[in-house]
Amino acid sequence: MARKSILVVDDEKNQREILETILSGEGYDVTTASSGEAALKFVADRHFDLVLTDLKMTGMSGLELLKQLTDFDKSIIVILLTAHGTIDSAVDALRLGAFEYLQKPYDSEKLLETVSRALKKLTMLDAEIVSVSPEMDKVKKLILKIAKSNSTVLIRGESGTGKELIARSIHKNSLRSNEVFQAVNCAAINENLLESELFGHEKGSFTGAIAEKKGLFEIAHNGTLFLDEIGELDIALQAKLLRALQEKQIRRVGGIRDIDVDVRVVAATNRDLLHMVKEKRFREDLYYRLNVLSIELPALRERRTDVPVLIDYFVKKHTRGTDRKITITSNARHLLEDYSYPGNVRQLESALERAILLCEDDTVTIDDLPPEMTQSGAAISSGDLFKLPPEGVNFEEVERSLIMQAMDRTDNNITKSAKLLGLTFRTLQYRLEKFGFKKDEASGTEEDEES
């Protein structure tokens, strides 16, 4: 996980150096600025998780810096430090969005404790979203920016990218975090029952309605309602959802009175809703009502640096509460890290959960991974020949998969693997180097090939 970045702003060099020493000693990535103007230039060039600024400085004051920082990036956390503290300035700082107000001379332990508490907002989010990639870093920053709003959010991304996780993070960082979070998959419920699920029904309103039932809009009152797979919503039900969003009122199935609801809606889809709008399969007015704020989730193949981190995370997750110490062979890890993951994060977790259950001696090998990963889409006929599937294959991925399987089966012996693959020692050695396989991980020599 990347170190938290802190910008220290003080026009006194000695104070900057003291703060830098204290914070760097705790592992924070610290940058210093001698003025508010200099601080704004730093912030324009890179993101900081936290800003520690003096209140009274030559030129721009700490309060003015606070105003400009929050206008520029609402996700930045600001703590003010001053030797000139007054009740009025403290109130102003907090009113303008400062996390806390510390008076000089400050105790270093108190300072570090305050910094730690301030960063818990970000730490909570990081603990939920396992990522080190710049692509997901942008998503996390966007979540923090929009979380405090009550506007609807539309999350777009392929299946398995973690859209519900993002919705939960928005809720946890919102002003509604102490209220209920309700989720429903619009594609998983029969369209005749979905209206009742969302809006509730009155007793006797249809066959089987033996009692009054509250819908998710009522249950989620003052909280957040997550509507997954919103593109699957029936066109007639879309009109009723639009009314609920516009009027903040719902009417139960079979009901005659309107019920006021205060719900923040976060919707998600893997469909192209604009294309559906053009085809008259999704209401244009509902699309724009949902798409007030939007988040685009990258596919796992578009954030490759997250794969190794996710592998380690899921191994820990699926061995939690046990005494198992899972290891993954280098070849199996290579395959896991290089696979394209059409099913995204969900597919990676499923593959690891399966491998952990099937592996022997707590060691995951290529043989423990799902066939769709090890065969890369190729089907083997009764004649043991590979057939090209209609959709085609990624040839380099197939090649790498076969080579890694051979190396795994021969305990990384190049000579034996080359024989299995029908290659010469030098050809296989060249291809291993092409795929980033380290020489010191392999055994066997060209001379062995001749013996």
- Rounded alpha-carbon distances, angstroms, from residue 148 to 75, 171, 203, 430, 441: 10, 9, 37, 54, 50
Residue burial 20-34, b: 16+ Cβ < 10 Å; e: rest: bebbeeeebebbbbb
Q: What is the mean pLDDT of residues 351-376?
A: 90
In this predicted structure, the answer to whether residue 123 has a pLDDT above a threshold of 60 is no
pTM above 0.75, yes or no: no
CATH number for region 306-450: 1.10.8.60
Residue closest to 238 by CA, chosen among 277, 180, 294, 181: 277
Whether residue 384 has pLDDT greater than 50: no
Strand partners, 156: 269, 296
Mean pLDDT score of the chain: 86
What residue ranges do the domains of the chain occupy? 5-118, 125-296, 306-450
Q: Give the pLDDT band of residue 94 (cuts 50, 70, 90).
A: confident
In angstroms, rounded to a whole number, what is the distance separating the alpha carbons of residues 64 and 70?
Answer: 10
Note the pLDDT tens digit of each residue in 5-45: 899 999 999 999 999 999 999 999 999 999 999 999 888 77
The winner for highest mean pLDDT among 71-85, 122-136, 207-221, 274-288 is 274-288
Asked if the bond preceding 390 is cis, omega within 30° of 0, the reply is no
| Residue 184: per-residue pLDDT | 92
Distance CA 56, CA 79 (A): 13
Report in angstroms the alpha-carbon separations of 84 from 9, 17, 62, 80.
16, 20, 12, 11
**CATH topology classification for 5-118:** Rossmann fold (3.40.50)
Top mean pLDDT of 71-80, 208-217, 264-273 is at 264-273
- Average pLDDT of 123-139? 80
Token pair 């005659």 in the structure block, residue: 256
Q: What secondary structure does DSSP assign to 187-230, as a single string?
A: TTS-HHHHHHHHHEE-TTSSTT--S-EE-HHHHTTTSEEEEETG
Averaged pLDDT for residues 314-325: 87
Residues with Cβ within 8 Å of 104's Cβ and at least 6 positions away in sequence, in order, are 81, 82, 83
The token pair that represents 340 in the structure block: 């394209």
Calculate the alpha carbon distances from 105 to 108, 381, 447 in Å: 9, 77, 73
Token look-up 């578009």 returns 302
Please tell me the total number of residues recorded for the chain in this structure.
451
Mean pLDDT calculated for residue range 186-205: 89
**Which of 169-183, 192-206, 234-248 reaches the highest mean pLDDT?**
234-248
Q: In the prediction, which pLDDT does 120 show? A: 73
Quick one: pLDDT band at residue 2, thresholds 50, 70, 90?
low
Given this chain, do its domains 5-118 and 306-450 carry the same CATH topology? no
What sections of 221-361 are H helices per DSSP?
Answer: 235-247, 273-278, 284-290, 306-317, 330-338, 344-358
Mapped onto helix, strand or coil, the DSSP state of residue 364 is strand
Over the stretch 45-58, which tens digit does the pLDDT of each residue have?
777 889 999 988 99
Q: Which of 349, 313, 347, 311 is nearest to 332 (CA)?
A: 311
Answer yes or no: is pLDDT of 376 > 50: no
Cα–Cα dist 444/427, whole Å:
14
Nearest to 11 by CA among 47, 62, 72, 49: 62
| Higher per-residue confidence, 393 vs 134 | 134
What Å distances lie between residue 10 and 38, 95, 346, CA to CA? 10, 22, 46
Chain-centroid distance of CA 285 in Å reads 29
pLDDT of res. 90: 64
- Where residue 122 falls among pLDDT bands split at 50, 70, 90? low
Query: Given the DSSP bridges, would you call strands 213-214 and 153-156 parallel, antiparallel or unpaired?
Result: unpaired
Is 3.40.50.300 the CATH classification of the domain at 125-296?
yes
Its sign, for the CA torsion 141, 144, 146, 152, is positive
Give the pLDDT confidence score for residue 243 in this predicted structure: 95
133 vs 47 pLDDT, higher one: 133
List, in sequence order, every residue forming a beta bridge with 327; answer none if it has no partner.
363
